[in-house]
Structures are given as structure tokens and as C-alpha cells.
Structure 1
Amino acid sequence: MFETVLVANRGEIAVRVIRTLRALGIRSVAVFSDADADARHVREADTAVRIGPAAATESYLSVERLLDAAARTGAQAVHPGYGFLAENAAFARACTDAGLVFIGPPAGAIELMGDKIRAKETVQAAGVPVVPGSSGSGLTDAELADAAHAIGMPVLLKPSAGGGGKGMRLVRDAALLGEEIAAARREARGSFGDDTLLVERWIDRPRHIEIQVLADGHGGVVHLGERECSLQRRHQKIIEEAPSVLLDEATRAAMGEAAVQAARSCGYTGAGTVEFIVPGGDPSAYYFMEMNTRLQVEHPVTELITGLDLVEWQIRVAAGERLGFAQEDVTLTGHAVEARLCAETARVSGDRVDFLPSAGTVLALREPAGEGIRVDSGLVAGAEVGTSYDPMLAKIVAHGPDRATALRRLRAALAETVVLGVDTNVGFLRRLLAHPSVVSGDLDTGLVDRDAATLVPAEVPEEVYVAGGLLRRQGLSAGQAPRPPAEWVDPFSVPSGWRLGGEAAWTAHHFRAPGHAPVTVRVRGDVDGAEFLLAPSDETAPTVPGSAKLLPSRGPGEQTTLQLDGLTHPFAITTTPQGIWLARQGDTWHLLTHDPVDVGGGGAGAHAGTLTAPMPGTVTVVKAAVGDEVEAGQSLLVVEAMKMEHVIAAPHAGTVTELDVTPGSTVAMDQVLAVVTPVVSPDVTPAAPLEES
């Protein structure tokens, strides 16, 4: 067994691997970029090595720096986690050449299965059914388009290298093939350094089922049952569970055997996953999609139903041990469901929801606990969440004797989860897990995209604004009222709203929740019995006030309770000079202090054609120039963050009158990118200017 293992990854997966290393008595070495100097995985490792600046290409993706860190710390082996170099054959070979054991499959297996085109050909020769699609690698755009036409619409464009949904494009309209191929190549090149694409038949309402395999270096190969991964957004998994309600024992055994044959066909060792696409109406008609030659994000659900530690078996196999069990020894007990907690902001636009990467400082953190609950997390209070890396922050997992119990436990765990300072998808996940189709198990890979708009509240609840107003009122009084122990307090210096010989005055607090119109909350009286008026900032407040009461807070991130209309609303809160963060039942709101006089920065008074950055990131493509005439919906810019592209389109026909960025520009959220001045119809006569009276 190894004495020291270097973990060539970051975040929650590095923390996860370190946990097993500690249980095995193995010294752990973490690596970190400048962005992660105070990260949780750095704190929890036995030792840590700085490997470069924040840019992944100069740190986590630098083979030279990782090998140097291993040499400096005396590591005998390297665990790649998942992501970054986990499926990089050159890295596996470099480890071997440096005298290190790569805790993963042989470089040849990574290379073979990492090329989706060769992988399909290999497993097909081993008798595993595959999805109909293009053949051969290095196809030109024209050849890809011809293959798509031959297969018939709709088709799925997929990068030959990599996975995780990056670069995948579903194309239903043949007229858009050229544009989608270009976008898929660009994203694949940015994510994997390889823009080779293939095209496959799209199966409507499919289910995504994957089989976990384990193989040793002595010919032993077993499967550990399946995982249902059909709940996806833009081809990226967000909820996974094991086992699947779709499969009966016969289908499970057949798919498991197909996965074992796929692993044998490439000489696989270690932990890997064989992914299948399954028509929901006919589970027996399954097709091989790809093999992930690494540990999967969703591996905890398999661990919980099998009782096996997959990281431990990765390490034991890499150390030369045989699997200590056969296929007949594998039993599946109970049900497990996992939710991926990501740093992202949901923005509703009509019936569509855009999930955009978010960033910030974790101001307060509360992770769930309880029977059947497991949390794999890279979070700590004070951590900086940037846009340099993948947005996943943690995984909340629940296990129970049956599926209904596991789902209930996970929904409750998400309701307990609090992350203040960064927008997350916790509330969205909790509502998704209560969706009738999810509860019944009637799933497919398009469910989330179809129903996302129903799972994101269109408006900020009234009680959030009321709580914000009372909290600001409370802070104003506490922060400005002098309380010298032996001096008289001037009552006129206390901002309580009290007035001599009249009613208390209203104190106005202006808020803007990102993506929503500004709102003004007027408060008078004490917060333990206050009146409030609530209205959009550009409207007159209602004449009939409401009443509310705010119970004292127990500190930042702790619970405070608002009493409103006979109901109580408990919130976790923290305040900053810029605004207030509130969380309840998994939902988080950020109420920014709003200046109603300021009409810049994309606020309510901004120019209707002003286009702002929907997320912090980097401009990768600029398709327009000042003076260009553009059509409504025409793509002007592409902003990328956390490996996600967001297209900035013209809101209406007009002329580009401002364009403030170039390819490579780093932009902040809500930064002005461009202005499109609308076309004035010749039939419309401009209004005459008003005369002064």
C-alpha cells in the first residue's frame, strides 16, 4: 500500500479523496492555485503544494507542476479525481514515466474510451449495442452536416473528447446545423483542447442509465448496478439516483453484463462508468453512449446502496490487489439520491430559464445532517467562489430503505442547506425533487428543460422585502443610536421615526433583487411591532399599511423570524454594506441597496437596448461592430464562465451604437457590453418637446 498519495484536483472531490486516504492511513498531498490558497481541501490535507496562478492551464492542468509537487512531497501515487486531467492519457503516461502510480485505468484505455468514435467501434465489436450515428473521425463541417441529413433530424452533436455535456448540441432544424457545429467545435476546443465532433441520432424522451464497473489487474471485472441520471439540464446531470425504477432484474443483469464486456474490450482497470441511452418506452432497447474512465461525480449513490468505498477500491486496485468479491457478492440495499449544489443564478425569460454561473464570498454556511444524509463538500465560510473553475460546490446525498424515503430525506436536507454570499441552485433542486414526474419516477432527459420555468419563482415573495426593510430599520437604529453608559441620550439623534407632536415618520429602504425591478419598503415604528408599505420604486406606495414583527437575530447566518399576516417566516440572514442575503427552505435572495436616482448599470431606467453581462466571465466571441445594423435576436457576443457559454443577442432591430469589449475581455456581472439603438419607424412622428411654463 502507498505511504503518500497526491490528489491532482480541487474542491469537493479532493476533500472526498482525502477522507478515504485518511481512513486508510495514507498521507495526503493537496495541490492548489492562488485562487484556492485557503480552500477546504488545502486545510484538510496532510500537506499542500502551490502549483501556480488561478488559471487552470497554469496550475491544475499543468502536468509539469503536478509532477514536481509529487516529487517534492515524496508521493508514490497520484489520484486524479474527476475533471481536469482525470481522463488525460498523456498525464497517466507522464505519471508512469516519472515512477508514479496513476490511480486510474491504463493510458491506453483512457485514450481508447476518450475517443468516442473509436470507443463505439470497439464496444460494438464486443457485442455491445451502440447509437446509430456518424462513422470515422476528423469529419469536416460539411461531412458532419451530410451525416446529420442521412441520419435524419433531430441529431445530437457531441465532442469526441471529454464529457460532462460540454459542447453537446441538440439540433432539430437543419438550417441551424452550420451555426451549431461551429459553436460545438468552439466549446469542445475550449473545454478539451480538441474540436473533433461526431453526430448521433437523437432519441426523443430518452433516459440516461449508467453502470458502475470495477476491474482489477488480474482479470476480475464486476458491475455495481446502475444509476439513473436522466434529470439533466443542457446535457449536464443535476440529480442522480440508484437504483433506477425503470429496470427490472433481467434488464439490469443484461446491461451490467454489457458494461462488463465494454470494460474488458479496452483492458480496463479501476473504477469506471459505462453510460447507456435507454428509450423510456422500451428499457430493453439500450444503446452504449460512452465510457467515463474515471470516478464519477455521482459515485456516492452507488457507495450508499452497495456499502463499498469506490475510492478505496481504486487505491487498492492501483496498488496491485485483487477485488475481494465476485459479481454474486454484490447486493443493492435501499435507495440513494444525490443533488449537485452549484454556484449559479436562475434568470426567468418567458418560458425559458437561464442558469448562469455566480461568484462571491461564502458569508455564512450551514450544511445538513441527519439520518441517511451524506454531504460531500468543498465549502467553508469565507471561501471565495470564482468563475475560473466548474460551478459545482457540493453534493447532498440521501439514503433510505426505499425511494420515497430517500426523496423525502433529500428534500428536507436541501431545505436545511444555507449558503449566503453566492447564488446557488438549492431551491430549484428541492422543487424539482417534488415534481410529480420525479416523485413517480416517470423521467426523461428533457424533463428539466421543459419544466424549468415552473420550478423557479417568477417574483421575490413579499415577505422577503418586508424582512429586508425591517432588518435595515433594525440595523439603522442599532448602528446610529448612541448608547453611552453614563450620558443622557438625545432622543432626536435616535433614528426611530419618532416626531414631536405627530405620528412617526416613514423610513424608506430601496432594494433591487438581481433580475427584478426595484422595490421600496417604507417602515415606521419599532421592528417588534412595525408598519410597512411596499411598492415598486417607480409607483406610489399603497395607502393601507401592513404590520409585521421581526424577532431578534442570533447572529450572521443564524435564524431570524418574520411574523406577517399571522404566519411566521424563518430566515437565515447576513448583511453586508451592499445589501442583505436571506435564505429560507433552500431559496436564497440577495437584496441590493438601490439608489432610485441612479438609472445606470442596467437598472430600471437604463436604455432599453443596453446589453449587460449576465454573469462574471470572459468575452470569447464578438460578432458585431459599432455601426452595424442588426436584427432582433441576432447574436452579438458570447460570454463564457465556468465552461458555460452565454450568447448575448440583440433585444430588437437597430444599430449597434456602443460596443465596449473585445475577445478576451474580462467582465463583471451587469457590466455594460453593448448598446443597440432601435430603428425608428418613418411612420412615427417624434413627439414635440414640451414648452416651459
Structure 2
Amino acid sequence: MSAAVTETGPQTMFKTVLIANRGEIACRVIRTLRSMGIRSVAVYSDADAGARHVRLADAAVRLGPAAAAQSYLDIDAVLDAARTTGAEAIHPGYGFLAENAAFAQACADAGIVFIGPEAESIRVMGDKITAKNAVEARGVPTVPGIAKPGMDNDALAAAAPGIGYPLLIKPSAGGGGKGMHVVESEDQLATSLKAARREAAASFGDDTLFLERYVTTPRHIEVQVLADAHGHVIHLGERECSLQRRHQKVIEEAPSPLLDEATRARIGEAACETARSVGYRGAGTVEFIVPADSPDEFFFMEMNTRLQVEHPVTEEITGVDLVEQQLRIAAGKVLELDQEDIVLDGHSIETRIYAEDPSAGFLPTGGLVEHVRHPEGEGVRVDTALEDGLSVSIDYDPMLAKVITWGRDREEARARMVAALENTAVVGFTTNVEFLRALLELPAVVAGDLDTGLIAREFDSIDFAEPGEREFREAALLMDAARGSSADPWRRRDGWRLGAPAARRFPLVAADGTSRTVLLSGTVDAPAVVVEGDAGPEANTETNTEPDAGRAGSLPALVRRRGQDVTVTIGGVGRSFTAVVGPEGVQLTRLGALFDIRRVHADHSIQGEAESNPSLASPMPGTVLLTPVADGDVVAEGDPVIVVEAMKMEHVIRSTVAGTVALHAAVGDAVSRGQALAVITPVEHESEEEA
């Protein structure tokens, strides 16, 4: 599509803009470009060739293979795509090249507008040490600590006692919580420094570290700013981002339930002063730490020189389209908003949908999206690139989508979010939807009594759903239906025979080990259901004869078959469920919880070396990053054996027994969830053989 030139002032708005990103943020930027009549260009890797943002854009250019370094992080490839398509400007989204000063400079050198700040502003604020020194010079309060370039581990260890414990190790480059480590005591410091340097080097290509005092019960408050090239700087209020796991946000809201009007004005002005300290231009976010027990105090943490993931909550309460403002500022226009124009209306909450398993320590998951259901309704917004058939790989960040709600007050926004998550389903692999819904129901969250340690502190009190008789009944009925119900009685697989049909027996086991046996009699269209107790040999057997156990009308209709196989997608009605089902298994999602229920066969057993010796399996799909031990080494219980990395997260797999290591994977290997990576032969087995 060829868009007309958009005139909104003495400068000319862009005709074509390239989005140097992927997923939901690329879709989000395209939405605003379309509303402004600007032609959009998407870029993609081989992994994203069929992605939603590619189809939404007016044009799309392949960058390279799936690996980000060979596609989305390839500056030359991105610039070539802009030149080829005639794009006058590039929107970087967030992540990838968004805060890369070299990329911003390369755009300037190529005569292409970078929709963001100038390279020097990115350089100063991208290095947390120089940023801290820059804002201190402007009178902005900062967290006490030691922040000097070039300090090695010995120098940092020597400075630590002067800061006191607990302290926080932070990388000077990057963000998103990567490489950050809380150190409670001196004996943890050396190990944590090594891990932080390795993670910082891997994530940002810079292993420079510094130390800060760790603020107990900290609240993470950030302020959205807009600044044009003509000296005008305003803020759009604050966002509360204290609900985090592994220093990464999962739920954000605006405004913060903590701040009063006076503190809101002071922290907003401090954010504007931070932007002025580097001659900032564009949309940016200034992050502060606020002690929960002293809410009128705040300390500068860092400035993110880009659009934030959580920008929608600010848009919802201010009515300002931040992407539009970015485009206008990058085109050289004067900011038409004054500080008094910014009025906060109501309350907004955002939840991030991640491909991760909260019950397994938030380990990344991923795989094929068999079916997705997004919520709808008053005050509900979804920013997403998710759709049926999408393959979620480990090559990129695990965030899949964002659900945003607005209400006249915080409680209305929270209640709408709980209802929205109840109507959200991602079938195919485990996500954090159920966890988010349960988190929003915690008394502390309901009351707005938040801090960055709340999730870790309250995690054990969150009940994850376990499959009950209802889920096992539905799984058996769906599997029975998927086996086929041909009109030809000789081809039916439902126990049809002359006289009464034979009962069909479904021994089932869920992913958490819960098991039941379901007996179906009658026909597929009108079955009778009996659920026996736990299928284990020592279990007491109970029979469920609920009147509605086999109610034919309780299941939604089959709506789609996938190709020639027997897998079908089931569409839920209201708040019932969404499922993908085959004759041997069901993945069923209800209230955000994914139940994976499989049929157990008599010949099901575990074979091989791991049957008798402790096997170390990968807890997530990923890549082997390190093997601290060699094949044949003797390890003690708890020793690290292998390190797997996926979606920007490292996981150390430790030996469960003392023994000899047999490695089944090497550094650089791509591994799947559950794949055996090593087997430990216990020492007592060796001694018996030697004897």
C-alpha cells in the first residue's frame, strides 16, 4: 500500500517506517502506523516467516536465520532492508537494537531516522555507572553503592563491606534483570560475581559490574517521559512495576497505589530532570526504587531509552498514543502536550503472558500453539502476536502477549483482569496465565501492598490447579470422540456390538502424576461415565456416579481437525474450557491452567540406562551453555553438572547423588524439555562392582 504524505506541521511526516522488531510490539507499532496513514515494513527471521506481524505489515523483508545475532541484531541487514523498501525511519520497538547506540549512529550515518534518542544519550544512559554519575550531578537521588568503571571481582569484593549486606550486583550494561544478583552474605559474593559477569557478557557483550545497597521491601516505580528536540520535557505519571520474578516484571499498573500527589509531582520532576541531563529526545522511562516503608523517598535506578513493554497502562490512563508521539518527535515536530494537559483518568493493569512454567521455577517452555483464546469485553485490551499454529521457539524472549485492563478505580481494573485471564487460553504448552490470575487474588495484591520480593515470599501460598474428576471425565469423553464415530458400525471404535455396547476403559495420568481410570459406556453421542479412584496399585478405588458426569450437552462441539490426523481443536463456551484432543491425550485449559492428560498403556515403561541410575534431564528446551564437569568425573551430591540456557535464562542442573558422570550432551547442543543430559552412576554401585 502506498500511503499519502501526512502533514501535521511545518515538518513532513514519514511515508514509510520499518519496524526492526517482531512479535506483539511489531504488531502494536503497525497499528499506529496504519492509523496515521504511514506505510509499514516488517522484518523477520526464518523462524518468523509466517508470523502475524509479517502478514500485518504492508511489506516484509527477510533478515536471516532464526538466531537473533544473524537476523534481528544484524545492523547491516536491517539498514539494507530499510534502503530496499524506501523507509525513511526505523522504529526499534524494545529489546534487540532498541538501546544500541551503534545502531542509532549507523542510522544517522545512513540518513535514516532512528525513532528514539540520539546515540550519545543511549550511550550515557545505557551504562548504568555513567548514568548514575550524570543524574547525581543534577541533584537526582541515587542508591548508595560503588559505581566505578573497570572494577574487577577483587575490587568489588573489597568494596562490599563498606556498602553492607544485603547488596545488589548489577551489570553496567543492559537491563531486564539479567545478571542482577542479590547477595545476602559475604560467602555468596564470589560465586555471584562470577555468575553475574558471565550472564552480563552473554546478554550484553559487556561484563562490567557495580554494587548497590539492596533496599529492603523495595517498590519499583517508573515514570514515563516525553521530550522533543526543542527543549520541551513532560512526564505522564508513574507506573508500579513491583510484581517481579527473577528481577523481571510480570504485572504492572498505573498509577501506583503507593504515591500521594506531592510525591508524584516530585518523582515526575526528577524524571524530567534525568531526561534533561542527557538532552533526551523521544519517549523514555526513568526507573526508581522506593522503600515501601518510606514512600516519600525515592532513588534513581536507570533510564530506559526506548518504549517500555508496559507502556499500554500509561496510554490507558492518559489517552496518549505513545507510539504516535515517538513518530511525531522523530519527525522533528514540537511536542503539543504541556504538563497540565496530562490528566490521569482511572486505573490500568497489565499482565505479561510468558511461555514458562511457574510451578517449575518459571522455567521457559515453548512449542506449538495448538489453540489460543484471547479475552474480550469492556475495558479489556490485548497486545499480541499469538495465533493458532504459531511455533514459539527458544531463540527469543518468552513473552507471548499482554493483557491490559482499565477501570474507574484500581479494584475495577483488577477484577476485570481476573475475569480476562479466566477467559485466556494458550493450549500446546504451559504458560503463566493461571499463576497471574492467582497472584492478582492474593490479599496483599488486592490491597496494593506490593514490593519486588512479594512473589518469592508468597509463592508457596499460591495454589496451582490440579486435575480433578471433572478434567478426567472431559479428557476421556474428548479422547473417545476423537477416536471416531463412523456411521458404519463395522468401522466404529466405540465398543459397538450387537446388544449393549462394551465399556471403553481409559486409564489416564496427568502431567503432575495424578491418575484416574474412566469407564465409558453407551455411545459416543450419549455416553455414561464412571470415574474410578487413583489407578495406583495401593490406592483406594472409589466410583463417581454423579448424575451429570456424562451429560452430553456439557461438552462443546468439535470445531476443527488438524490435517489428516485425529487431533481436533475444541472451542470453549463462556468460561468453560479450551482443549486440543487426540485419541491418546488431551491438553485442556480452564481458568488459565493447562492440564496435560494422557492415556496409559500396559506396555508403558522407562527403558535404558536412566532406569537404574539417576538421570539428569533438561527442565526446559534450550542450549547447553556450560559443562562444569567432564565425562567420567566424580561429583558430590549438589555439584553443578550442566548449565542450560533458554530465552535469556540460565538454569544450573546439579547432581542428585554422589557418583561418576556420563555426559549425554555437549556445549552448544540444542536440547528438548525432559531430554537426558547426563547419568550419574552412584558411588555405591561402583564399589559393589569392584568388590
Structure 2 counterpart of 1:455: 462
Structure 2 counterpart of 1:102: 114
Q: Contact 1:85–1:91 at 8 Å: present in 2 too?
A: yes
Structure 2 counterpart of 1:553: 556
CA distance in 2, matches of 1:275, 1:607: 52
Q: Contact 1:517–1:536 at 8 Å: present in 2 too?
A: no
The partner residue of 2:139 within 115, 127, 130 is: 127
- Give, in angstroms, the shift of residue 569 of structure 1: 8.8
Structure 1 counterpart of 2:640: 635
Given the alignment of the two structures, is residue 54 of structure 1 paired with residue 66 of structure 2, yes or no? yes
CA distance in 2, matches of 1:222, 1:560: 46
- Give, in angstroms, the shift of residue 597 of structure 1: 3.3
Structure 2 counterpart of 1:206: 218
Given the alignment of the two structures, is residue 598 of structure 1 paired with residue 604 of structure 2, yes or no? yes
CA distance in 2, matches of 1:73, 1:241: 38
In the TM superposition, what whole-angstrom CA distance separates every residue of 1:103-140 from its partner, at most 9, and x where no partner exists? 00010000000000000000000000000111211211
CA distance in 2, matches of 1:15, 1:503: 53
Give secondary structure in 1 for the equivalent of 2:449: coil
Structure 1 counterpart of 2:294: 282
C-alpha distance 639-483 of structure 1, shift in aligned 2 (>3 A):
same
Q: Give identity over the alignment, percent.
A: 52
- Give, in angstroms, the shift of residue 146 of structure 1: 1.7
Structure 2 counterpart of 1:585: 591
Give secondary structure in 1 for the equivalent of 2:616: strand
Structure 1 counterpart of 2:3: none
- Give, in angstroms, the shift of residue 370 of structure 1: 1.0
Q: Contact 1:345–1:355 at 8 Å: present in 2 too?
A: yes
Given the alignment of the two structures, is residue 401 of structure 1 paired with residue 408 of structure 2, yes or no? yes
TM-score, normalised by the number of residues in structure 2:
0.91
Q: Contact 2:465–2:593 at 8 Å: present in 1 too?
A: no
In the TM superposition, 1:357-376 aligns within 5 A as 357-376=364-383
C-alpha distance 592-83 of structure 1, shift in aligned 2 (>3 A):
farther
Supply the AA of the counterpart residue of 2:520. Answer: R
Structure 1 counterpart of 2:269: 257
- Give, in angstroms, the shift of residue 356 of structure 1: 1.2
Structure 1: unaligned runs, 5 residues or longer: 349-353, 562-567, 687-693
Structure 1 counterpart of 2:443: 436
Give secondary structure in 2 for the equivalent of 1:120: helix
Q: Contact 1:518–1:537 at 8 Å: present in 2 too?
A: no
CA distance in 2, matches of 1:444, 1:608: 43
Structure 2 counterpart of 1:351: none
Give secondary structure in 2 for the equivalent of 1:272: strand
In the TM superposition, what whole-angstrom CA distance separates every residue of 1:300-345 from its partner, at most 9, and x where no partner exists? 0000101100000000000001110211121100000000011112
In the TM superposition, 1:203-242 aligns within 5 A as 203-242=215-254
Structure 1 counterpart of 2:521: 525
Greater mean alpha carbon deviation, residues 411-420 or residues 25-34: 411-420
Give secondary structure in 2 for the equivalent of 1:284: coil
In the TM superposition, 1:609-688 aligns within 5 A as 609-652=614-657, 654-680=658-684
- Give, in angstroms, the shift of residue 460 of structure 1: 3.1
Greater mean alpha carbon deviation, residues 173-182 or residues 640-649: 173-182
Greater mean alpha carbon deviation, residues 37-46 or residues 569-578: 569-578
C-alpha distance 607-273 of structure 1, shift in aligned 2 (>3 A):
farther
Give secondary structure in 2 for the equivalent of 1:323: coil
Greater mean alpha carbon deviation, residues 134-143 or residues 332-341: 134-143
CA distance in 1, matches of 2:542, 2:262: 68
In the TM superposition, what whole-angstrom CA distance separates every residue of 1:215-251 from its partner, at most 9, and x where no partner exists? 0000000011000000000100000000011100100
CA distance in 2, matches of 1:577, 1:189: 47
- Give, in angstroms, the shift of residue 19 of structure 1: 0.5
- Give, in angstroms, the shift of residue 91 of structure 1: 0.2
Q: Contact 2:626–2:667 at 8 Å: present in 1 too?
A: yes
- Give, in angstroms, the shift of residue 387 of structure 1: 0.6
In the TM superposition, what whole-angstrom CA distance separates every residue of 1:45-76 from its partner, at most 9, and x where no partner exists? 01000000000000000000000000000000
C-alpha distance 219-609 of structure 1, shift in aligned 2 (>3 A):
same
Structure 2 counterpart of 1:411: 418
C-alpha distance 607-243 of structure 1, shift in aligned 2 (>3 A):
farther
- Give, in angstroms, the shift of residue 594 of structure 1: 4.2
Structure 2: unaligned runs, 5 residues or longer: 1-12, 560-567
In the TM superposition, what whole-angstrom CA distance separates every residue of 1:581-601 from its partner, at most 9, and x where no partner exists? 111112122224444533338
CA distance in 1, matches of 2:465, 2:654: 22
- Give, in angstroms, the shift of residue 532 of structure 1: 2.2
CA distance in 2, matches of 1:642, 1:310: 27
In the TM superposition, what whole-angstrom CA distance separates every residue of 1:525-560 from its partner, at most 9, and x where no partner exists? 136321122424555671535452153432254446
C-alpha distance 304-230 of structure 1, shift in aligned 2 (>3 A):
same
The partner residue of 1:469 within 453, 462, 476 is: 476
Give secondary structure in 2 for the equivalent of 1:38: coil
CA distance in 2, matches of 1:595, 1:174: 53
Q: Contact 1:602–1:672 at 8 Å: present in 2 too?
A: no
Supply the AA of the counterpart residue of 1:469. Answer: A
Supply the AA of the counterpart residue of 1:589. Answer: F
CA distance in 1, matches of 2:596, 2:257: 38
Give secondary structure in 2 for the equivalent of 1:573: strand
In the TM superposition, what whole-angstrom CA distance separates every residue of 1:177-207 from its partner, at most 9, and x where no partner exists? 1111111111111111111111111111110
Structure 2 counterpart of 1:510: 508
- Give, in angstroms, the shift of residue 171 of structure 1: 1.2
CA distance in 2, matches of 1:190, 1:298: 25
Greater mean alpha carbon deviation, residues 378-387 or residues 215-224: 378-387
In the TM superposition, what whole-angstrom CA distance separates every residue of 1:269-299 from its partner, at most 9, and x where no partner exists? 1000000001001112210000000000000
Structure 1 counterpart of 2:44: 32
CA distance in 2, matches of 1:217, 1:415: 44
Q: Contact 2:171–2:196 at 8 Å: present in 1 too?
A: yes
Given the alignment of the two structures, is residue 318 of structure 1 paired with residue 316 of structure 2, yes or no? no
Q: Contact 2:21–2:94 at 8 Å: present in 1 too?
A: yes
Structure 2 counterpart of 1:345: 357
Q: Contact 1:39–1:378 at 8 Å: present in 2 too?
A: yes
Given the alignment of the two structures, is residue 572 of structure 1 paired with residue 578 of structure 2, yes or no? yes
- Give, in angstroms, the shift of residue 494 of structure 1: 4.3
C-alpha distance 92-631 of structure 1, shift in aligned 2 (>3 A):
same
C-alpha distance 607-305 of structure 1, shift in aligned 2 (>3 A):
farther
CA distance in 2, matches of 1:189, 1:224: 34
CA distance in 1, matches of 2:255, 2:590: 31
- Give, in angstroms, the shift of residue 362 of structure 1: 1.4
Greater mean alpha carbon deviation, residues 235-244 or residues 365-374: 365-374
Give secondary structure in 2 for the equivalent of 1:224: strand
Aligned residues: 661
C-alpha distance 280-44 of structure 1, shift in aligned 2 (>3 A):
same
Q: Contact 2:367–2:393 at 8 Å: present in 1 too?
A: yes
Greater mean alpha carbon deviation, residues 246-255 or residues 182-191: 182-191
- Give, in angstroms, the shift of residue 154 of structure 1: 0.9
TM-score, normalised by the number of residues in structure 1:
0.91
In the TM superposition, what whole-angstrom CA distance separates every residue of 1:469-513 from its partner, at most 9, and x where no partner exists? 22222323xx2x5424xxxx34xx644446789994451333341
Greater mean alpha carbon deviation, residues 578-587 or residues 102-111: 578-587
- Give, in angstroms, the shift of residue 84 of structure 1: 0.3
In the TM superposition, what whole-angstrom CA distance separates every residue of 1:333-387 from its partner, at most 9, and x where no partner exists? 0000000011112335xxxxx1111111111121111111111101121111111
CA distance in 2, matches of 1:231, 1:502: 57
- What RMSD over aligned residues (CA atoms) do the two structures have, in Å? 2.4
Q: Contact 1:601–1:671 at 8 Å: present in 2 too?
A: no
CA distance in 2, matches of 1:175, 1:458: 38
